[in-house]
Structure 1
Amino acid sequence: MSEKIKAKNSRRDFIRNTAVAAAGFMIVPRHVLGGKGFLAPSDRLLVAGIGIGGKGETDISSIYKSGKADIAYLCDVDDRRAAATRKAFPQAKYYKDWRELLEKEGKHFDAVSVSTPDHNHAVQALAAMQLGKHVYVQKPLTHDIYEARVLTDAAKRYKVVTQMGNQGASGDGVRQLREWYDAGLIGHVHTVYAWTNRPVWPQGIQWPQTKAPVPQELDWDLWLGTAPYTEYVDKLVPFNWRGWWDYGTGALGDMGCHLLEAPFRMLNLGYATDVECSVGSVYVDEFKRGYFPESCPPSSHVTLTFPKTDKTKGPVKVHWMDGGIRPERPDELAPGELFGDGGNGTLYIGTKGKMMTGTYGANPRLLPLSRNEQVQVKQKLERVPNGAEGHYAQWVEACLAGPGKKEVSSPFEIAGPLTEALLMANLAIRGAGIRVPKANGKGFDYPGSNITLLWDSQNMRVTNFDEVNQFVKRQYRQGWSLGV
């Protein structure tokens, strides 16, 4: 691939270079046949997949299983990871460079699925949206707060159907929680706990010092994308990148959108006002194992404060715990009864009672569990067919209907602020690794464990600890741009 092609990633580059002959693909996309909202005779959505191994393989398969989508194009930087999906959809033309895909084939499909590592979500999704493509983007929506705000605004500007890949948002459990809460079964929630067994990948370790040869099937430079250049190291791809700040967003990014979507929707939460945290294995002695600035920590406990909403009587405290940290078991739960689903869960504490769920807001239960046999609340919210599995089909149906015609469970107008809250929590976690001089001039403090960060959501800035604002909007590698 030429350096000229690799450098083209801004909006004007894509628009200028998408004049392609219609004869290049036998299936004509719906928008070409009759404009936005036009239903082709086959009534099927043409989809391009960017990132098609691992979770991307599942996403592409699930979109196809909706029954109304055809997989027209596939793209991945790693031929090894792409092999299974390419075999499943042999008719789909394959690319390694997503920019080349959009440049050459932009007129020939309707929608894009983005299932790449976190650090490349925003550039890929925005470029597709600027071409008028509907987008399905894996969680977390973005790597940085600034990127989340940009994608949220772009969804309105370009009038496309958007969905984040937190499938629990389409589950029955989330809707039952909302019905219970609106019926007043636990009063007004003031405190929420969410916990996860993540990370299940290495965190709190030093960057590997031993370099390894780049597999011939992998375009390493393209995998790095927006991130700073570094030599290839073994075992980073395809999974362990989640534990490094240049690429991933840690346990919060991996599971936060799954566990915290339910309280966000149920309580109408928006932007947090402040955040504080405690981080595991962070020592004043920087030579002890446990803290390395490029790596996410082994564990953390973060507390976010959200202002009063129309669903609450006052501010709400949301506690996030990972790496084996869990909240105290509620008194209403008997010793032999499962807390959450074991490894993950959420607990809601209201003025009149408590309720809990497993991952994705699934299996909601009132506490004590005996209450569930006595309570009957009328179903008021429409369910998504097939629940969480229907998350993909819901997006496909909405794309076919056209923007604003059908509801989706996790549009960017909701997914964006949710992602921002999680990434703000990560500001506190990263702040825990920044040493600042003590007031008395003797030694250094790790401020993330003993201060509260105050957040100005309008200007996207922490107002009382400027050192962490560098993480709100990172600097892309030279040659890469978000294109806004």
Structure 2
Amino acid sequence: MSKNNRRKFLKTSAAAIAGFYIVPRNVLGGPGFIAPSDKLRVASIGVGGMGAGDVRGVFGSGKADIVALCDVDDSRAADSVKKFNKASYYKDFRVMLEKEENNIDAVTVSTPDHMHAVQAMMAMKMGKHVYVQKPLSHDIYEARMLTEAAEKYKVVTQMGNQGSSGDGVRKMVEWYQAGLIGEATKVYSWTNRPVWPQGIPWPETPMDPPADLDWDLWLGTAPKKDYVGNLVPFNWRGWWDYGTGALGDMACHIMEPPFRVLGLGYPKSAECSVGSVYVGEFQRGYFPDSCPPSSHITLRFDRPGKEDLEFHWMDGGIQPTRPEELEPNEQMGDGGNGVIIEGTKGKMMCSTYGINPQLLPTSKTKDIKVPETLYRVPNGDRGHYNNWVEACIAGHGSEEFNKLSSPFSVAGPLTESVLMGNLAIRSYDYSPRKNEFPGRGIKLVWDGPNMKVTNFDPANQFVRREYRGDYSL
């Protein structure tokens, strides 16, 4: 053989041999196989209770590995630690993020409300994608900072309001865009929460914290206090230092459908009334540490060229008047929670998470045929975790990124509006001296872009709280 022919023969033979060995990974692993190098490496902060569900949800996508776990309560974390026994385990999220920085791509945050922002912000500054439970933050300022940071650091974000991935809210958007109820004029949303103690004094008797709980780390950004019973793991929701009350717990689920349907932004004003608590005979109690047992909040949204939209939130068992279009025995919402949007030509209703959307009267629903124009998340609300995982793998700005249901660009303004209701509640009960309530009976006028109440300055102390110790955004 000539030198040229021999060279050509050897080159062709080598390529042929390589073809037998270099095969696609999906062929080696079978249908649906995902190589370890193609999976999202996840660290999770808060892995008991709802956090355990979040870890399982992300792992259940089949496209994520749980690399590290963090929880301040060893007993609450035990099930997750057992299930993901190859993951490193930490108590301090700062230590975990610093040590695992090169081993992880994304972080889930499923802790009490007062810790969401500092944990998510640290992860985003390290270039990690984040999934944060609702509400996105404890304060309005935190929500704004997280929203801006998501864009600044080009990370993929999602809030844990899974209903935003459901088909129901998309159907409502399509109905509204088709003009079935005309121009919206009012929204009513409500919940039967709280189902934990609120409107009570802080317990007077301190206790030793459980041996498995690091109380100082649990307090985190909150003021230093002695441990008290009946607080962890759930009843912290009713205390302003840690939680955001019934509104923070449920409004990101219930208010989200009308926000998406109507394309709302920041409210222009907020006012409220709250349920009373009585201590002793005919003595009204005021407990500034605790959220009220019930509230009714009215937000107003400016819509250029249209009348303001009136948006009502009710909790503690308060509900709006039943629409005349509902039959006497028909259920309003899902009984304890729901949404009604009133328009110039009709009304529509849904349950929590946007489930079971209905036109009113409900007999109209089955006859309506409106084309599907919006993207449907595979498996609906059950696909909420996968919606985020897919986008993380694809990257910021990708096609999958643009399919996200609740990125911070959406979840941030929603959370700010939710927390605006709490701003009104806390201003209502603001008292420089006992039994003085200068915030009662007024409307807070809100400058959304600048995060400032313009007509009652004491309210602005609740826009951004001071953190304890060296915690910082």
Deviations 1:21-53 (A, max 9, x none): xxxxxxxxxxxxxxxxxx976421000000000
Corresponding residue of 1:300:
295
TM-score (norm 2): 0.90
Corresponding residue of 1:427:
423
1:408 and 2:408 aligned: no
Which consecutive unaligned segments of at least 5 residues does structure 2 have?
A: 1-33
Following TM superposition, by how much is the alpha carbon of 1:444 offset from its aligned partner in structure 2, in angstroms? 6.4
**Equivalent runs, 1:256-335 vs 2, <5 Å:** 256-281=251-276, 288=283, 290-308=285-303, 313-335=306-328
Following TM superposition, by how much is the alpha carbon of 1:478 offset from its aligned partner in structure 2, in angstroms? 2.2
Following TM superposition, by how much is the alpha carbon of 1:145 offset from its aligned partner in structure 2, in angstroms? 0.7
Contact 1:253 1:422 in 2 (8 A): yes
Q: State the percentage of identical aligned residues.
A: 65
Contact 2:47 2:76 in 1 (8 A): yes
C-alpha distance 134-287 of structure 1, shift in aligned 2 (>3 A): farther
Corresponding residue of 1:344:
337
Residue in structure 2 matching 1:141, options 136, 144, 160: 136
Corresponding residue of 2:459:
468
Residue in structure 1 matching 2:391, options 398, 404, 422: 398
SS in structure 2 of the partner of residue 252 of structure 1: helix
How many residue pairs get matched?
Answer: 437
Corresponding residue of 2:16:
none
Residue in structure 1 matching 2:115, options 116, 120, 126: 120
**Equivalent runs, 1:100-249 vs 2, <5 Å:** 100-249=95-244
C-alpha distance 481-399 of structure 1, shift in aligned 2 (>3 A): same
Contact 1:356 1:366 in 2 (8 A): yes
Following TM superposition, by how much is the alpha carbon of 1:380 offset from its aligned partner in structure 2, in angstroms? 1.1
Residue in structure 2 matching 1:54, options 49, 57, 78: 49
1:81 and 2:76 aligned: yes
Distance in 2 between residues matched to 1:218 and 1:444, nearest whole Å: 37
Corresponding residue of 2:445:
454
Give, as a single letter, the amino acid of the residue that structure 2 aligns with 1:347.
I
Give, as a single letter, the amino acid of the residue that structure 1 aligns with 2:76.
R
Give, as a single letter, the amino acid of the residue that structure 2 aligns with 1:185.
L
SS in structure 2 of the partner of residue 49 of structure 1: strand
Contact 1:77 1:222 in 2 (8 A): yes
Corresponding residue of 1:21:
none
Residue in structure 1 matching 2:356, options 363, 367, 372: 363
Following TM superposition, by how much is the alpha carbon of 1:435 offset from its aligned partner in structure 2, in angstroms? 3.5
C-alpha distance 287-468 of structure 1, shift in aligned 2 (>3 A): farther
Contact 1:277 1:428 in 2 (8 A): yes
Distance in 2 between residues matched to 1:331 and 1:106, nearest whole Å: 57
SS in structure 1 of the partner of residue 182 of structure 2: coil
Corresponding residue of 2:346:
353
Give, as a single letter, the amino acid of the residue that structure 1 aligns with 2:421.
A
TM-score (norm 1): 0.88
Distance in 1 between residues matched to 2:427 and 2:338, nearest whole Å: 26
Distance in 2 between residues matched to 1:104 and 1:286, nearest whole Å: 57
Contact 2:334 2:351 in 1 (8 A): yes
Contact 2:429 2:440 in 1 (8 A): no
Distance in 2 between residues matched to 1:219 and 1:204, nearest whole Å: 27
Deviations 1:297-355 (A, max 9, x none): 0000000001116xx83311110000010000000001100000001000000000001
C-alpha distance 286-108 of structure 1, shift in aligned 2 (>3 A): farther
Distance in 1 between residues matched to 2:86 and 2:284, nearest whole Å: 50
Residue in structure 2 matching 1:96, options 54, 75, 91: 91
C-alpha distance 59-290 of structure 1, shift in aligned 2 (>3 A): farther
Contact 1:276 1:448 in 2 (8 A): no
Following TM superposition, by how much is the alpha carbon of 1:415 offset from its aligned partner in structure 2, in angstroms? 0.5
Following TM superposition, by how much is the alpha carbon of 1:286 offset from its aligned partner in structure 2, in angstroms? 12
Residue in structure 1 matching 2:470, options 449, 460, 479: 479
Distance in 1 between residues matched to 2:159 and 2:297, nearest whole Å: 23
SS in structure 2 of the partner of residue 102 of structure 1: helix
Structure 1 residue runs of 4 or more that deviate by more than 6 Å after TM superposition: 283-287
Following TM superposition, by how much is the alpha carbon of 1:69 offset from its aligned partner in structure 2, in angstroms? 0.5
Give, as a single letter, the amino acid of the residue that structure 1 aligns with 2:467.
Y
Corresponding residue of 1:11:
none
Corresponding residue of 1:374:
367
Give, as a single letter, the amino acid of the residue that structure 2 aligns with 1:408.
L
Distance in 2 between residues matched to 1:284 and 1:307, nearest whole Å: 40
Distance in 1 between residues matched to 2:435 and 2:450, nearest whole Å: 29
RMSD: 1.8
Distance in 2 between residues matched to 1:204 and 1:422, nearest whole Å: 20
Corresponding residue of 1:417:
413
Contact 2:302 2:308 in 1 (8 A): yes
C-alpha distance 237-270 of structure 1, shift in aligned 2 (>3 A): same
SS in structure 2 of the partner of residue 106 of structure 1: helix
Contact 1:276 1:304 in 2 (8 A): yes
